[in-house]
Structures are given as C-alpha cells and as structure tokens.
Amino acid sequence: MSSRLPGTPPAGATQVIRSMGIIHPSAISRGNFGWESPTRKALRRLATDMHAPGPTPPDPQVVGTPPGALLFPTPTQIEEYLTDPLMEQGVVVDIENPGNVLKIVGWCRLADLKSLVVWFVMWDGSPAWEDHRERALVFNLVKRAWGNTRIPIWTHNGQAHDLPYMEKYGFGPIGNFGGDTMLMLRHAFPEQPAGLLWAACNLVGGFPYKHWIKWDEQDDTEQINK
C-alpha cells in the first residue's frame, strides 16, 4: 500500500510517496489469521501518514544511535563493557553471520540499555582487527563473556541459530542462557507469527523491524525494502 500526501504541491516542490507492505485480506481469509493484528496496525499508520508532513531524508553522514552505543569500539572499550558488573543483570545478544561468516556480535545490557557492536569482519570483507594480538584479545573477551555463568544471555531465535553458530565459531558453550524471546512468543501467542517483525510491530511499537529506508534522489521516493 502507498499513501500520497493530500493536496497539490506547488511547482518545483518535493513530493514524498510512502509505502508499507501489509498482508492481502484474501490471505487472511484463507487462514492466516495471525496477521490480522499487524495489518490493522499498518492501516492505522497509513491513515496517520495521510495527514502527517513528509519525512526528511536521512543524512547518510550521520549515524543515529542510542545514547552510549559503541558502534566501533576499541579493545579497551570492549573489555570495559563486557566486564562491567551491570552485565550480570542480563544482556541481549544477536549475531550477524551472512554467508556463514561471523561479522558482528551485538550486545545490549538490560540494566542501562547501552549497546556494544563487536566487529570481526567489516562490511567490505576485511578483517576488523589487523593486529593478531588485538584479534586474540577481542576473541577471548567475547568468549569469556559468552561463557560467564553470572551473565544471563537473552536471544531471539538464539536456541536454533545464535547458540549453535557461536559454538561452531569457537565461543561456546554459553554460560547462562537467560531465555529465547521467540520461544516465549510461541508460548504466549501460539496463533501469531513469532518473528522480529511481528514482535516489533506489536510489542515494541514504532517503525517495523529491519525495514531499510532508501531514498531515490531523482524522484524523492521513499522505498521500504524488507
């Protein structure tokens, strides 16, 4: 579905078209009842957009991050984060391993919601740590935190993905598995999807999970790619 802002813009003005994907009503009628709630939310967002000012294209030079987030930390910052006593109040962990290559292990502490991104392979395929001593230090810091029995580690679909892959990459076994939010969603809402998109739309609110916003500079169209 797409929404065009009401009114005719003046000559030369930028017009923004916003799109969002929802499940087709016929699919719901064929038995996909779990998508009724996300569909209703998408329709309400669409109705709001019709009367809202157009969004401003994001500045590619500015990275918006939560307060205190460490996106490109030094080994010292990684050590300070992973050894902080606040870790013992729980931490959410997610890995990114496209093509079976471990690129990132991300952490978010529950106590202060401070995030840490530990790189192993950069986006261009180059190693994150050229110095072998730094590489060994970062590996061991992550391994110790992952295996620390005093740190409850939470994941989403971690039991099926993150845990076995971390063990495969040499970081296992996990010391204290706090829980898996995907399994919890399966328990609490057995009739609903349990992916991150549904969880974000229904439990977190705001913009749907993993929708990347790209701007076409020629026609100022916002494209939402899933």
| Residue 222 pLDDT grade (very low, low, confident, very high; cuts 50, 70, 90) | very low
- Cα distances from 16 to residues 46, 54, 82, in angstroms, run 14, 6, 43
- Cα distances from 142 to residues 109, 162, 215, in angstroms, run 14, 14, 36
How far apart (Å, rounded) are the C-alpha atoms in residues 27 and 30? 5
- Helix%, strand%, coil% for the chain, nearest 5: 35, 20, 45
How far apart (Å, rounded) are the C-alpha atoms in residues 21 and 28? 14
pLDDT for 44: 74
φ, ψ at 18 (rounded to 5°): -115, 140
Instruction: Dump pLDDT digits (tens) for 20-53.
Output: 566 666 766 777 666 666 677 777 767 776 666 5
Entry pTM: 0.66
How far apart (Å, rounded) are the C-alpha atoms in residues 199 and 192? 10
Q: Helical H runs in the chain?
A: 25-29, 36-49, 75-82, 132-146, 163-168, 181-188, 196-199
Q: Which two tokens mark 27? A: 């699919």
Instruction: Dump pLDDT digits (tens) for 59-105.
Output: 545 556 777 899 999 999 999 999 999 999 999 999 999 989 999 99
